[in-house]
A = this chain, B = another copy of it.
Amino acid sequence: MAQAHWGCCPWLVLLCALGAWGHPKSVDLTAEDVRNCLISPPYLPVTVVNTTAQLTALRQQMHIQNLFAYIIPETDAHMSEYIGTRDKRRAWMTGFTGSAGTAVVTMGKAGLWTDSRYWTQAERQMDCNWELHKEVDTASIVVWLLTEVPAGKRVGFDPFLFSIGSWESYNMALMNSNIKLVSITPNLVDQAWGSEKPLVLSQPIYVLQEAFTGNTWQKKVSDIRSQMQKHPQAPTAVLLSALDETAWLFNLRGSDIPYNPFFYSYTLLTDSSIRLFVNRSCLNSETLKYLNSSCTGSMCVQVEDYSQVRHNVQAYASGNVKIWIGTSYTTYGLYEVIPTEKLIEDTYSPVMVTKAVKNSKEQALLRASHVRDAVAVIRYLVWLEKNVPKGTVDEFSGAELLNKFRGKEQFSSGPSFETISASGLNAALAHYSPTKELHRKLSSDEMYLLDSGGQYWDGTTDITRTVHWGTPSAFQKEAYTRVLIGNIDLSRLVFPANTSGRMMEVFARRALWDVGLNYGHGTGHGIGNFLCVHEWPVGFQYNNIPMAKGMFTSIEPGYYQDGEFGIRLEDVALVVEAKTKYPGSYLTFEVVSLVPYDRNLIDVSLLSPEQLQYLNHYYQTIREKVGPELQQRQLLEEFEWLQQHTEPLSAKAPHTAPLASLLAVSSLAILGCRV
């Protein structure tokens, strides 16, 4: 799917960077819906939050710390894609609840920087304490700081909410100025929030059953240690900051943040010890035993309190050690306590890179979850086909029903992200999700885009289908078919091992480019086994690692006609060995998402014989894998639907019909038969 915000898997950041998606236009706003700070007194709609008290409290804290400005990003200490309530500091400060944006407060002013998707929302939610800056890059914040902050004054930030990269950006930009950038702990918004900050309830951490794991945690730990030993710079430890790194390493799961089964944690894995930093009260005695937490050997996990990580890492770094980190997910809060000469910096930690390649058991698990996920999606599509014409379905209730269908599947553990259920023009909006209050009715006259996924104990899923139940326009059919061709061309590509996804994603665009169309987002992302739905570092972006056998990635070209409709066709695919005519190390994709595309929207005449053959082969696979599952579950109506929707497509006569069939037709005509 194509929804997320800055963080662990910076998916949407990349989408927006391409900038082709339009601004929200589906909601008809009047002047009364948004604030007007230019008149006196200012006009404030009821949706606005009065933030004067918050600002006063924060400025008191800033005064104590001798700060003139304070930067408040919307992230957590693990660069997570989804953040928990306790980390929604910027939302509390500003009133603005959008998932992307940075606030900066000075002693006299306050500003919010966010991208075009959120400009209207910000004007509806923020009071006139706040300036809205319609930019998102650090440079623009720095320019503002240089104007607003007097020479010699200090600008503070919480180092646990700054990636190493963002710290470097601010630091470089302010280095030769008269302003001093100061790392301050604890977080000043938390200090200001005080007792009003919602209590974070401790969620239990549980062990994933062995049936759902690729290896025991002991095997994984040994594997990472073996990589440490082979490393030319001889690291003595690996420090893990991303939540999925620790969850994967120990085969543990939790529910501290939405959509991802994670718990707040860090790991310091050294050559002779394993230190797990968590809220200890979330581990029951069985889990502690599972972790060998009562012993002290190299294969015993020492459970330390989450809050002690910085102190503990700093103490470890005082020894004769080398700490191996992945810079993408380590915050400046830990980075700054490790002397540079004791760091080994890679973009991704060895755990991140190892996790990216699924072993055969993990592959089988992920495949199985996709079969059941297909059942849920097909049930929903069959239901829509019957109910949309009645005019009783809307985007929100539809998404809820889909969640119910997924919930009935074995090992289900909720959605893997907020469903994008978008009808008509709403599907052309990046990041759109319906709400109970704001949604559109589904109609046979409009296209409907459904991008959704599930968490299952065996795997995480993510699939997008676009459908039309009535008569699509010629342009809609052409655009849909060209998106489909892109999906097919990339899925069936044969490429040398270790090719970067970035280099091959153009195959998903060529059929659109041919006629002057394109899409403004990335073409795919990795996915986990009951982990992140956007699992880095696999995918087709500039910062992804080369493709290797055993990786899973989504393939999701699209097309968006601003104000009219949106198309996206997304499948998850496994990277497998390709059998080539001449020997060599070549790879290709095996699609594991198993839901047919909409026949109503395919213009077969645009497909080459090879594309058509690929598509029919894929349909055959769907029949073989999903058909028996439907039959076994007595979902006979769905089975019938599946058979109809996977009927082999044929090139339309006379344009590309084989000669033999044409001759057959004419013979029959001679004999007076009707065909």
Seen from chain A, the residues whose Cβ lies within 8 Å of a Cβ on chain B are 176, 341, 493-496, 502-507, 510, 513-518, 578, 580-584, 586, 608, 654, 659, 662
Contacts and interface: CB of A to CB of B under 8 A. Distances in A.
Nearest to A658: B659
A582 B495 contact: no
Contacts of A176: 341
A142 to B, nearest CB: 13
A516 B659 contact: no
Contacts of A502: 503
B654 A515 contact: no
Contact of A503 (B341, B503, B515, B586): B503
11 contacts: A176-B341, A494-B516, A506-B507, A514-B580, A515-B581, A515-B582, A516-B580, A516-B581, A517-B584, A608-B608, A654-B659
Contact of A586 (B516, B580, B586, B608): B516
Contacts of A510: 493, 507
Contact of A496 (B513, B583, B662): B513
A515 B580 contact: yes
Contact of A506 (B506, B518, B586): B506
Contacts of A578: 516
A516 B584 contact: yes
Q: How many copies does the complex hold?
A: 2
Given A341-B176, A506-B503, A506-B507, A516 B654 contact: no
Nearest to A495: B513
Contacts of A516: 494, 578, 580-584, 586
B496 A514 contact: no
Contacts of A496: 513, 518
Given A176-B341, A654-B659, A494 B506 contact: no
Which 4 pairs between the two chains have the least Cβ-Cβ distance?
A516-B580, A516-B584, A515-B581, A516-B582
Contacts of A580: 514-516
Nearest to A341: B176
A514 B507 CA distance: 13
Contacts of A654: 659
A654 B510 CA distance: 30
Nearest to A516: B580
Nearest to A610: B608
A220 B513 CA distance: 35
Nearest to A657: B659
Contacts of A494: 513-514, 516
Given A176-B341, A503-B506, A517 B659 contact: no
A650 to B, nearest CB: 16
Nearest to A20: B496
Contacts of A517: 582, 584
A346 to B, nearest CB: 16
Contacts of A514: 494, 580
Nearest to A504: B506
A584 B515 CA distance: 9
Contacts of A341: 176
A339 to B, nearest CB: 12
A608 B654 CA distance: 19
Contacts of A584: 516-518
A654 B658 CA distance: 11
A527 to B, nearest CB: 23
A507 B489 CA distance: 12
A66 to B, nearest CB: 28
